[in-house]
Structure 1
Amino acid sequence: MNSYTTYKKLIAKTVILSLLTSLAVAFIYGIYIKKRAIDDLARVDARKTSRLAFEALYSAMEKGWSKQELDAIIVRLNEVEPQMKISAYRSPIVAELFGDHGNDKAIRENDPMVAKAMRGEDVLTGDEEIRYLYPIVVKQKCLACHTNAKVGDINGVIDVRFPVANLKISLTTMINSFIVFFVFFTIIIFAILYYKLNKLLVQPIKQFIGMIQEIISNNDMAKRISLKTKIMEVKNIENYFNKMLDSIQDYYEKLQELSDRDYLTGLYNRRKFEEFLTYEVKRSVRHRHKFTILMIDLDNFKYINDTYGHASGDLVLKEVTQIFASNLRNADILARIGGDEFAVILPETSYENGHAVVEKLRASLESTPISLMFDQVSLTASFGIAEYPEQGENIEALLTGSDLAMYKAKRAGKNTIARADQSDQEMATEIQKKGEFLRRAIDEDRVEPFVQPIYSVKTGEIYGYEVLARIRDGERYMAAGQFIEVAESLGFACKIDQIILTKGLMAREERSLWNKRFFFNLSTKSLFGGEYIDVIKSHYEKEPESFQSGVTIEILEREAIHNVNGLMDIIEEMKEIGISFALDDFGSGFSSFVYLKYFDTDFVKIDGEFVKNIVVNEKDRIFVKHIHQISKEFGKKTIAEYVEDEETLQILKEIGVDYAQGFHYGRPHQL
């Protein structure tokens, strides 16, 4: 088990270690200084004392003083420093001429130190008491009296003894010694600090940075940090960073799942389905085999939503998913590509085998009742089949063929299976006619913006307008519901969005409605196309500075579900230039609450299916109340749709809804 320390403990340990180190160094250095005093300083002091004693004796001898007078000089020298004792011993050469003095002979013979000094070596010894023996070497001037000697002989030894306590150390030596000790001690301290900080802090941080760089370069959110450290704070950085990576990885996986899968059923969405279809076409070309795709549309599903509510409709979609999945192979790919539309890829499956699979799906769905509240419902579906390569050699042709087959099954009475062939020109012609109508309407500038007012529930004043697309057809105007599906399938939706956005903003400028917010519905392709950005930027440049930027883009659940990651990035980018966002038809599915969590929108438009019946339906009232409360806690304003009478408006006031729109306030009209 690893044991960790904290930075406080590390600092304390470092200080204590440094203190102990300094004490140890001081002790060792003290011993060194003492020894040096004995070996060097004592020798110097003793030599000086011996030299002084010798010079005093020599001066007296030159004057012809007697032995008694010389002894008196030594006595007086000893009295100068009571704790110091000076003795003088004659050598045999001197004794030969002048005789021994006292017990000199016995000392020469019995004291090895004296004997050693008599041979011409100065001797330093002692621990508590210093003893220095200084040999007196015969010089030329000594020969006048010492006729039996020659230069270099030893005339005698001066013996100096004094305690270590009396040792005198020079100030220079002490200062130099202190400087050396301080420098050495400082080096030791910094060396310890450098080693500790480098090992326990710098190296883990470098390792930490290196691992972060590796995670970024490899985009590997599964990798985790592991630092070699004993410091608790550094270990905490590791733990919390890994927890953050866990959260990011979980968040990333959820976003990835949202971008690839339908949140409600867990099936692949349209974008991912088309990716699989592209891959299957390439695989079939390479291996030269057939495969089949199915388009499935639930029959009369709107009746379930209207009768039992959207929540029950969501439960039905989940049950249908289970029924279909249980009758398909593991290799088959099942996707939800729309509200009540499903699609299936049957790899390496011919039309004949694919038809058998579809019949199994149809029969299983028809024979499996689904429980709803206190009732049971039986569902059927219309199935369209397209075979590769007979119905198309690319994904566009296959999708068109399977769509045509599904519409053909619908027209045949529903709960049937159909295959697109050459006889389906009538349906293809109808779609083509609608497409041509849209193309002409765009070319002839017959796409017009209508607006429906949005009122403040609290003040009763107009807050803004929702801008809606209409197509002028003679004396009448076609609502978006009559053409938008075909426009999306044929690729006209982006162009229509661009026209409505441009004309709507132009009307806001011409009528100086700068204090009114304009709400626009843009398709996903328009959002990701990015052409609308320059239009809004140009509009904002004309807006007076006294007003806030007033363009809001509404996002539908069916639009958001296909690319959650990309849409989040767009919202974040566009909010920086003053574009706000609203979640439209909120509450129509369980996934709405997920988008409320992930999308940084400013408004929530409560689905009109809940609003229009709140006067008579307590459950709808509860839904609206809680949607408003949740939105408020997320810091978002609420807008109620389908407000068609005063009673509904009063209930919305009681709930606290911020804004409302509907026939009670006004129908869509031209500005």
Structure 2
Amino acid sequence: MLLRGRNYDVRACHDGQSALEQLMAGGVDLMLLDLHLGDMNGLDLLGMIRRAGIDTEVLVVSGDTAFDSAVCALRSGASDYVCKPYAVEELMHRVELALQRRSLARANLAMAQQLHTSERMHRSLVEASPDLIFTLDERFCFTFANERTHHLIGYSPQELLGQSLLDLVLPVDAERVRYVLEHRTGQRAIEFRIASRGGEIAERHFEASLVPVELDLPQLSSRLYGVARDVTDKKDAEHRMAYLAYHDLLTGLPNRALFRDRLGLAIMQAKRKGRQVAVLFVDLDRFKLANDTFGHIKGDELLQQVGQRLQCVLRECDTLARLGGDEFTILLPGLSRKEDAAILAAKLVKEVAAPFSIDGDDVFLTVSIGIAVFPDDGDDIETLLRHADIAMYQVKSQGKNGFDFFLPVMDDAAGQRLRLENEVRRALELEQFELHYQPQVEFDSRRIIGCEALIRWRHPTRGLVPPGAFLGVIEEIGLMKPLTYWVIERACQTLREWKRAGLELSRMSVNVPPEVLVDNDFYDYLIATVDRYGIRRQSFEIEITENAFIADQQAMSLKLAGLAEEGIRVAIDDFGTQYSSLSYLRHLPVTTLKIDQSFVREIEAGKEDSPIVRAIVAIATGLNLNLVAEGVETDIQADYLGSLGAVEMQGYLFGKPMPSSDFRRLLHHEAAVTPV
């Protein structure tokens, strides 16, 4: 589509055999070839083209970034190599260059054919050649050079006359070239580099064929005839592929392959010198939230900033690598004591904690770092990496934002965690999760006015598992979105069942984590699901925590405003425990504040007064927001909250979270005893 849009005549082939048939038919100037074909390997097809003598340019466009594949392709006759994903303009530029080379080659061939019929065409043929054509005397000085020298290396043919080729060749190649020139028996091929004068490219790489010319005329004997082709672009492509094989494309840091090579070398050196080697596994905390909020382009920019921050803390001999995503590894070779790794890890944690800037907004990140030390924690690459990874997950499980050394006991914990991850995945597939519903009541009448849907896991052997035991794992393995969507679906289904049974409820509250709320599909999905079940939008409420506003308050405000315009209610859960700024309450379409149970729990007999609770009640009253007190377990707590003006409450005093059937009976009982 890109090529046709630029008026190229394009033929598409879906496998190697059909491509070969098209090429055999002729008329193809350029083939764009993937290395992975349906019926054969792209390298094999290149070999067939070469053996068949098919005249066409080949540009390899492939997602295969292996260094060997790229070099083999270029050596098998491909003129260039482009990695997927590619920039459109770069691909078009490569196509134009290939076609230009094709055009020049055709012109050169046509002139070569004319050379056989007319000796007068010799000069024009030589001068029009895209290659350097020259002759050298017995001292390797130029006796002739075509005009192409001016374009390629910045010297006119007149300037080259009398100069030695060895004076132009870079010193690093000079001795090798001298050897070939001195041993001039038969045709010889050689590669060399020449420093370009006054051109855009500092040095050019040539592949030259040298042929000794033996003539009867004494003054022309012992001369060398040379043709040098500019292969700078080809060599640059090989160098790019070599670089990409061992470096991360986004950050420019070493990748997994290069890191493993350096780690293996560091282990060997440490064994000889009796030193220690530390491997640090670095994982960004909550990066997914920032990435979803700002978008992947800004997320990539954030990863680049993180890489630069980490690099600034390290020594010159250390290696920082990016494994992928938001995971980095650090190699600290030649340590005399493991405490040095702890000192560096503490610096890394502090460095990343400073705010990053994305489009003028401050973004706060933290890191979890696991450390494994050779030889105590392993004496090979795989073991050290695995143990550092295990230690990193231990840090995450203990609250993140820190570092820890590997301990053998962590290995058992890692095995248990892996089993838990597998069980959680199966639980979602087998629908082992279920919703329990906790009533929200009006304080004065004790009448049920709403409920909160809370997820539970009905484990086949452990029974009912509370959310705190598995939600952290759900978040880390990336299943929070499908689980949240399942909760919304089941909650809407339950509301419809109660409505058909004649049981009306003012609202149903569902918790939505920040990473799901910022998802581009969430808005449409929620509205469509609520409408599909015939539920009044005003009776559905999403609960979000305050940390949802840390990354990008403006973006979150726009999403919530859109939901509010559609009638969806928004509640701030655990209010007052996380985000320190209250300014967002004035700008967001929040309908409800929920007093966190940790504040309610502090209300005791004889110590009923709670300044924090009074302040939250005053905030809700001043902003005309609905207020729900969570975790109410005693009459003392309920009476105190009621005296402050808290109208709605939720807690064990009024009912524990219960299955849908029990909550339905509770609603039936209340409807039966409530006078009409």
Q: Calculate the TM-score normalised by the size of structure 2.
A: 0.42
Choose between structure 1 and 2: higher strand proportion.
2
Q: Which has the higher helix share?
A: 1
TM-score with structure 1 length normalisation? 0.42
